Amino acid sequence: MNELNITLEYVNPAMLWGAQNEHFEVFKKQFPKLKIVARGNEVKVLGDEQEIALFKTQFDRVVSHIERYNSLTPNDVEVILGSPKEAKAAKKNGEKVVATGGGEPIVFGPNGIVVKARTANQRRMVESIVRNDILFAIGPAGTGKTYTAVALAVRALRNKEVRRIILTRPAVEAGENLGFLPGDLKEKVDPYLRPLYDALDDMIPAEKLKVFLENRTIEVAPLAFMRGRTLDNCFVILDEAQNATDMQVKMFLTRMGPTAKFIVTGDVTQIDLPKKQQSGLPTALKLLDGIEGIDIIHLSGGDVVRHKLVKRILAAYGDI
């Protein structure tokens, strides 16, 4: 049996293991084949050599997170550790195991909010958009695909890489009959676009965001409003693309100007279109796969960054 001994020099064991050892229990759950013993600032791990090596890699990520942010929650631990099964598979296949909890900040928002890639696939999104002009980010709810995409758009605007941000969604009801909403056109469509506003609120101070929306530096609009336009020198996000038809997805992608960046996000398991209409997202993924300049990233349950129960709910529904 192999043994690993670790001495904690710069990290408070109480923060590392959590109140009533709740973080320690997460470690034990993630590595059931290992015997983990923690006393004071000493940690001893007993078990298989490969299992110990994987533990050490992920343990170091947790420690790095504490050193950088001086905080650690049970959800942080689960997100950083990810799935040992996935990590083992990647290692077996010779793939690089990307740290999930210590990504560099994408943008700094108001009130001390730090927006960063928190999972391996979110980090892939950050890296991919540098090399590609169109990026598809596909995955279930809670994987941060929309939030990360908006953060990348805000970063591009702040760095003066683009002049404008355009965020769009198909105006499709998610199973409810909303009827005739009151108000002007903006008030009628805003409920469909609320998640995009929520992301912007985390990244741009309220007064500045108001100015950006008024002068159309940032535009949030239904997908139908994209028809006939050429979108250039801007960062464009099509969110909830699974609710766009074949013609709508094609229309959107062909709006692209010479200096634009496009991100398309969607979840093929949550299509809200009427039964007679077919989603254009699966077709686009099939037709565009392998084209230079276009990347497709599939996020999974391991990328869920909402409450830890969201991952379990998705698993219960068979989405992950």
Would the pLDDT of 223 be above 60? Answer: yes
3-state secondary structure of 37: strand
The CA-based angle 51-52-55, given to 5 degrees, is: 90
Locate 245 and state its tokens.
């038809």
Query: In the chain, which segments carry CATH 3.40.50.300?
Result: 105-316
Q: How far apart are CA 40 and CA 59, in angstroms?
A: 16
User: Cβ(310)–Cβ(141) under 8 Å?
Assistant: yes
Between 57 and 320, name the one with better pLDDT: 57
Note the pTM of the prediction, 2 decimals: 0.66
Would the pLDDT of 86 be above 60? Answer: no
Q: 243-289, pLDDT tens digit by residue?
A: 999 999 999 999 999 999 999 999 998 888 888 889 999 999 999 99
Nearest to 150 by CA among 122, 184, 170, 172: 122
Would the pLDDT of 43 be above 50? Answer: yes
Fold of domain 2-92: Ribosomal Protein S8; Chain: A, domain 1 (3.30.1370)
Q: What pLDDT sits at residue 82?
A: 63
Locate 195 and state its tokens.
């998640």
Q: What pLDDT sits at residue 100?
A: 38
Query: In the chain, which segments carry CATH 3.30.1370.10?
Result: 2-92
Q: What pLDDT sits at residue 102?
A: 45
Q: What pLDDT sits at residue 188?
A: 56
Fold of domain 105-316: Rossmann fold (3.40.50)
Locate 290 and state its tokens.
């392998």
Average pLDDT (111-127) is 85
Place of tokens 């391991």: 302
- Split at pLDDT 50, 70, 90, the class of 85 is very low
Q: Beta strands of 139-207 (E only): which ranges? A: 164-169
Would the pLDDT of 132 be above 60? Answer: yes
